Amino acid sequence: MTTDKDHNNDAELEALFQAARSTPPQVPDALLARVQADALAQQPRRRRNLWEAFVNATGGVPAVCGLATAACVGLWIGIAPPDVMPDLGGIVLGVETTTEDETAAFGWDIEEG
């Protein structure tokens, strides 16, 4: 149950709220600058370039060196395979053929074409 006194207080309160809305508080520029500086300090740094992002994503310089070494060895073995391995690239392209004895040693079933 509301009384006239309650309605009167509501009207006074609403007048105070309206006065506060019409003149918002002014935040000092120094405070805004400090808040902005703190916010920028908390944000993650952007990567300088794609190479740095790649190195960080793969685990650092040692991991990238290992990856490069593995790629070079794989390319070397692919281009000039050891004598004990059949040249699969040559077989697929029809440049080189192998005998069944060479492929049977590895358990491969390669049909000559």
Number of compact structural domains in the chain:
2
Q: Report yes or no on 29 lying in a domain.
A: no
Distance CA 93, CA 79 (A): 13
pLDDT digits (tens, 9 = 90+) for 37-83: 999 998 887 757 888 888 889 999 999 999 999 999 999 888 887 77
Q: Report yes or no on 89 lying in a domain.
A: yes
Q: Which two tokens stand for residue 87?
A: 């040249």
Question: Whose structure tokens read 């490069």?
Answer: 68
Q: Are residues 89 and 75 in the same domain?
A: no
Confidence label for 2 from pLDDT (cuts 50, 70 and 90): low
Distance CA 66, CA 62 (A): 6
Distance CA 27, CA 42 (A): 22
DSSP string, 1-64: ---HHHHHHHHHHHHHHHHHHHSPPPPPHHHHHHHHHHHHHHSPPPPSSHHHHHHHHHTSHHHH
Q: Report yes or no on 61 lying in a domain.
A: yes
Which domain does 97 fall in, by range? 82-113
Q: What's the pTM value of the predicted model, to 2 decimals?
A: 0.38
Average per-residue pLDDT for the chain:
80
Q: Report yes or no on 108 lying in a domain.
A: yes
Q: Is pLDDT above 70 for 104?
A: no
Q: Is pLDDT above 60 for 32?
A: yes
Confidence label for 105 from pLDDT (cuts 50, 70 and 90): low
Confidence label for 28 from pLDDT (cuts 50, 70 and 90): very high
Q: Are residues 87 and 73 in the same domain?
A: no
Distance CA 13, CA 83 (A): 95
Q: Are residues 90 and 105 in the same domain?
A: yes
Q: Report yes or no on 37 lying in a domain.
A: no
Q: Report yes or no on 64 lying in a domain.
A: yes
